[in-house]
Structure 1
Amino acid sequence: MGKRFDDLSKNNNENFNEKTDANSSASESSRPKEAYFEKKDDKGRIVLTEEMAPEVLGFAFSEKKKYIILTVIAILQISMNFNTSVYPNAVGAISEEWGVSEQAARVGQMGFLVLYAFGCELWAPWSEEYGRWPILQLSLFFVNIWSLMQALSPNYATMMVGRFLAGLSSAGGSVTLGLVADLWDADTQQYGVAYIVWSSVSGTTVGPIVGGFMESFAPWRWIFWVQLIFGGFTMALHFLIVPETRSTILLDREAKRRRKQAVKDGKPEPNIWGPNEVKESRISVKEIIVTFYRPFELFVREPIVLFCSMLSGFSDMLIFIFLESYGPVFGQWGFAAWATGLGFVPVWIGYFIGWASFIPFIRKDMAQRKIDRFSVPPERRLYWLLWTAPLEAIGLFGFAWTSLGPEYNVHWIAPMIFAAMIGIANYCIYMATFDYMVAAYGPYASSATGGNGFARDFLAGISAMFSTPFYNHFDTYTLEYPSTILACIATCLIAPIFLLYFKGPTVRQRSRFAQSLNDEFESTKVRAQVREEKAGGGAEHIEHA
């Protein structure tokens, strides 16, 4: 996220010289706002900026169009996360088919998620330079190719290679959440972020729900054929409905249109160029390395990123541990695989409740920012998390000790109720920590939230290897003790949220990344004013000869 801030930082390093009237007798206030933002490269070419053509950007799309785009992206996100969470339903069959242990079969789950964590970061810089649309199409194409490879795999090794490559090919949240930033600015994007976060976490529950039925009633290869069918449908939907939204790509197109239109009208070709047209090279190896390295730098050096990412990552890991614990827990009541899959429906309902619970707070904060955008501190976005994050520990404690089974006269509905509480907390943790880092890190938000996504996928991946041994370790209370241990860890991870809410301003003052925002505030105010005035007033295209 924060891609527009990233663009500002890049422009400062690309030998662009801002046009000024320092020697002019006219006052600064008398100058056109467009001229204030007019920029030239070292060859004297005027570079089209967002403030000079706001009507062509994603911000100018109607709300209806934005949410149609977002709905397709939500389906895309569900599809990618479906691929991660449906695989455990094939573990037993893969083990039997090729004579490997079930632990060896789970390597496919671990490899997919771990490489998904790295893949998200690798796809991000390319989407910034070449646009969201082609990168998402390319990602979906490769994921579908590897899904076909898995469906037709003749042996265990081919299956593992297909899983690993599919994980690395998944663009995921680094691009989809960046697309949200193309449509709304940081002050108005919370509804869009909430929608995409819901789709992301929902994919982890849709997998076991659908996978349970396939495990019970279909040959195991259908688990991968369904991935391919879902992925192909999503790719076609994205191809037909979603336009390009990346601002630099849209500005390039607008600059070309203006030059072409001028020639068509018999006028001199205007000296105006798109931001990518004036670059000698679109993207360098050094830029890719910096983009890939920065999330890890922030993860290690910034307490805000570290604590938020660990809490969010651990919360996501729980869902994947549940993919293993659900079977033995609900098997006590005689649940078949399809019935166990339906046990994830309460978790899915919990995601809906978590999503709905954020809306009043988003509405209130957005109304306040309309009055004064800097009157709402970033820590405000953690307020609702103070109340919902403890639900994770409560839900785990409850799930643990309602896993005793029917011999203790415990009804199966009890652990499902606590699972729904965990779903509420999981959604709220992801939404609040992500939203907070977007507000706290401005131009570094993409890297900060990249660390969040990395932690979620990486921790979920390694959990695939230890979750089953973890739940088989204890001689007594085999199902109760592991969940209790997880609940204790969850309790400890909640503490930093309270620390950041009350001490966040002090923590940010000691951060060179967060403090770099101070110099951007006044420029951001003017930029927002220009964009609102021009978009609202239907301003004509500005052409500079």
Structure 2
Amino acid sequence: MSKEENNVKFAHIEHCLDTLRQDLMCKADDTPMPSLELINAAGEGQVLKCKNFDKLVAWAKHPDRDACYKRGNDYEPPLHSIDRMEMSVLGQSQENNITPRNVTRDVVDFCDNDPTNPLNWPKRWKWSIVILMACLSAELQLCTIIAVPVSLPILADFHSTNVLYRTLIVSIWELGEIVSPLFWGPLSELYGRRWVLNIANLLFVVFLAGTALSTNIQMLIAFRFLTGLATACSPIGPGIVKDLFQEEYRGRAMSVMSLAGVLGPVIGPIIASYLGERAGWRWVFWLPTIISSVLGVLLLIIYRETYKVIILERKAKKLRRETDNPELRSRYERDETLSHKLFSTSVRPLTLLFRSTILLLSTIYLSIVYGYTYITMTTIAPVFQERYRFSEGASGLAFLGLCLGLGFGALLCSFLLDRYTQRAKTRSEVFAPAQRLPLLLPACLLMSSGLFIFGWTVQYRIQFVVPILGTALVGLGLAATSISLQTYIVDSFGIYAVSAISAMMVVRNTTAAFLPLAGPPLFDALGYHWGGTLLGCVVLVLSPLPLLLIKCGERLRARRGFQYGDHAREIEDS
């Protein structure tokens, strides 16, 4: 064989070996890398020799590697290819017809049982992350209306009589929280969840400490706004659940995450009422500062990157450096300039909101339900103080009904949402996100009933346990609605789930900030009985929205307006 023919042969073998190595990408960090080197051969001068081939063959044929091969119809079984290449290298055959895989040879992806894939992490580790994120979410949301019970002492301490400041102490937080999902959510899809969460939590602690140290009312209001801006956990949390769990196990984790988000604002007034009475209003802000600091340390220790787009991009970058193959790319990587990436990422939440019918309908319905719950929450304390003569501290206990309803609703969702999905898989049915929605109609009826009961019993001063039971039904309806819809959106939008949730939260937080302002005029004009009836009737009138999602959700997803979200699912499922 001439020198030129020998060189061509070994170059072809190296190409095949490199292709094989891509099939072993799930263990690429410790895979021996075959390469060609020039050696002096007697009578032939310098010739090419395949280096490390024996090590690669021994490594690849080990029984533990069986699960590491990505299989498909466009190339032959890896072990058979190894045998044929080994024969060529050892000179036992002149076969040069080993066909490399051309279609996806430069694509870096996870394979079955890949330990770097968050879906394959141990359950204990997954649930540690979920519980930590739930605690962060609850603690962040707890601060939303924690200032309500101590707003009067704050004004008195700063010698202010301006009623507008009392409203701003609470509502300015919501204004910050309206804006925050628009940049924290997309940033987590551009740079990963881990650093975004850590930076946001650090800012949250700093701004919360600034609130506690405020020397005038304007400074306190400014820090309240900045603290609201630093709430990144709410939009990112559902995306982390999607990163960690398959569809059939996602409902329970979403229930825990969503419960923490809605339970925080309910528990906040209970804690603030007693803490403000006994330790002063500044400790109402110092306590969450301390809790956030502890959770931030745990976040640094426990949480590692879960967003698979970033994991694969980092893996591809590392392999390009190790293999000197500039063509290696993550399956999610696209040729875009940084400016284009920043622009497309920043506009993605609003783009999805206005181009996806299912996201728009889900957002409208959840926002109204959420807003009505906030009307109830902001009414509970003054109503029980005025009509049932509860003290400022005891009025916080009236929120226990709402807490129980939220807890029971989350428990119900944790069992039923996954059961629907698992039953469909048992029957070999194709998974559809709409399988998350059967609880919406019962939740609608329960919430309407709760608003009726609360309004009429408070109006006529029925024994205080009865209106508290009414608030429990409101909480149950909110939990079932919120968890079902957020899980539905996460399942529908693939790798862009956080952007979709961010868009939903912008509208939801806007409603929660401004709709409660209509509560006092409404109840003053109609009374608690007819005011509660009006709110309950509006919820009933909107019941066709969840019915439309249940019956027509898949058809709506197939429409042109959903192509952006569908693109994410196509990439993810390919």
With structure 2 as the length reference, what TM-score do the two structures score?
Answer: 0.75
Q: Which runs of 5+ in 2 are unaligned?
A: 1-21, 24-71, 80-99
Q: Is the 8 A contact 2:357 2:557 kept in 1?
A: no
2 CA distance for matches of 1:199 and 1:159?
26
Corresponding residue for residue 535 of structure 1: none
Q: Pick from 121, 138, 145: which aligns with 1:85?
A: 145
Post-superposition CA distance 1:448-479 (Å, at most 9, x none):
332222222111112354444444x32xx643
Q: How does 1:390-405 map to 2 (within 5 A)?
A: 390-405=445-460
Q: How does 1:18-167 map to 2 (within 5 A)?
A: 28=74, 30=76, 46=106, 48-51=108-111, 54-98=114-158, 99-167=160-228
Question: 1:88 aligns to what SS in structure 2?
Answer: coil
Q: 1:105 to 1:286 in 2, by over 3 A?
A: farther
Shift of 1:435: 1.9
Shift of 1:119: 0.5
Question: 1:86 aligns to what SS in structure 2?
Answer: coil
Moved more, 96-105 or 339-348: 96-105
Post-superposition CA distance 1:22-49 (Å, at most 9, x none):
xxxx96363669x979757xxxxx4532
Question: 1:389 aligns to what SS in structure 2?
Answer: helix
2 CA distance for matches of 1:218 and 1:304?
48
Q: Which runs of 5+ in 1 are unaligned?
A: 1-18, 21-25, 41-45, 263-267, 528-545
Corresponding residue for residue 463 of structure 2: 411
Post-superposition CA distance 1:261-310 (Å, at most 9, x none):
x8xxxxx77879674999998x8344333333333233334332222112
Shift of 1:412: 0.3
1 CA distance for matches of 2:320 and 2:108?
12
Shift of 1:251: 3.7
Moved more, 76-85 or 208-217: 208-217
2 CA distance for matches of 1:218 and 1:362?
43
Shift of 1:426: 0.4
Q: Is the 8 A contact 2:189 2:496 kept in 1?
A: no
Corresponding residue for residue 304 of structure 1: 358
Shift of 1:367: 2.1
Shift of 1:328: 2.5
Corresponding residue for residue 384 of structure 1: 439
Corresponding residue for residue 334 of structure 1: 389
Q: Is the 8 A contact 2:113 2:120 kept in 1?
A: no
Q: Is the 8 A contact 1:396 1:483 kept in 2?
A: yes
Matched, 1:503 2:552: yes
2 CA distance for matches of 1:208 and 1:37?
62
Corresponding residue for residue 411 of structure 2: 356
2 CA distance for matches of 1:496 and 1:195?
25
2 CA distance for matches of 1:278 and 1:297?
20
What is the CA RMSD across the aligned residues, in angstroms? Answer: 3.4
Q: Is the 8 A contact 2:493 2:568 kept in 1?
A: no
Matched, 1:368 2:428: no
Query: Amino acid of the residue matched to residue 82 of structure 1?
Result: L
Q: 1:100 to 1:69 in 2, by over 3 A?
A: same
2 CA distance for matches of 1:270 and 1:52?
24
Corresponding residue for residue 537 of structure 1: none
1 CA distance for matches of 2:299 and 2:564?
38
Q: 1:423 to 1:278 in 2, by over 3 A?
A: closer
Q: How does 1:97-496 map to 2 (within 5 A)?
A: 97-98=157-158, 99-251=160-312, 254=315, 275=330, 284-331=338-385, 332-371=387-426, 375-406=430-461, 410-442=462-494, 444-471=496-523, 473-474=524-525, 478-496=527-545
Query: Amino acid of the residue matched to residue 179 of structure 1?
Result: I
Moved more, 221-230 or 58-67: 221-230
Query: Amino acid of the residue matched to residue 96 of structure 1?
Result: A
In the alignment of these two chains, the number of paired residues is 483
1 CA distance for matches of 2:520 and 2:464?
21
Q: 1:102 to 1:275 in 2, by over 3 A?
A: farther
Shift of 1:323: 3.4
Q: 1:304 to 1:269 in 2, by over 3 A?
A: closer
2 CA distance for matches of 1:106 and 1:380?
41
1 CA distance for matches of 2:258 and 2:440?
15
Query: Amino acid of the residue matched to residue 141 of structure 1?
Result: L
Q: Is the 8 A contact 2:492 2:565 kept in 1?
A: no
Q: 1:366 to 1:441 in 2, by over 3 A?
A: same
Q: Is the 8 A contact 1:37 1:51 kept in 2?
A: no
Query: Amino acid of the residue matched to residue 452 of structure 1?
Result: M
Please identify the structure whose Cα radius of gyration is greater: 2
Question: 1:189 aligns to what SS in structure 2?
Answer: helix
1 CA distance for matches of 2:568 and 2:302?
39
2 CA distance for matches of 1:290 and 1:150?
35
Shift of 1:373: 6.8
Q: Is the 8 A contact 1:38 1:49 kept in 2?
A: no
Shift of 1:416: 0.5
Q: Is the 8 A contact 1:132 1:175 kept in 2?
A: yes
Shift of 1:360: 3.8
2 CA distance for matches of 1:497 and 1:72?
31
Shift of 1:494: 2.2
Q: 1:388 to 1:444 in 2, by over 3 A?
A: same
Q: Is the 8 A contact 2:248 2:422 kept in 1?
A: no
Shift of 1:340: 1.3
Q: Which has the higher contact order (CA 8 A, sep 6+)?
A: 1
Moved more, 283-292 or 64-73: 283-292
Post-superposition CA distance 1:157-187 (Å, at most 9, x none):
1111101111111113222222122212445
Q: 1:126 to 1:374 in 2, by over 3 A?
A: farther
Q: 1:445 to 1:345 in 2, by over 3 A?
A: same
1 CA distance for matches of 2:393 and 2:151?
15
With structure 1 as the length reference, what TM-score do the two structures score?
Answer: 0.79
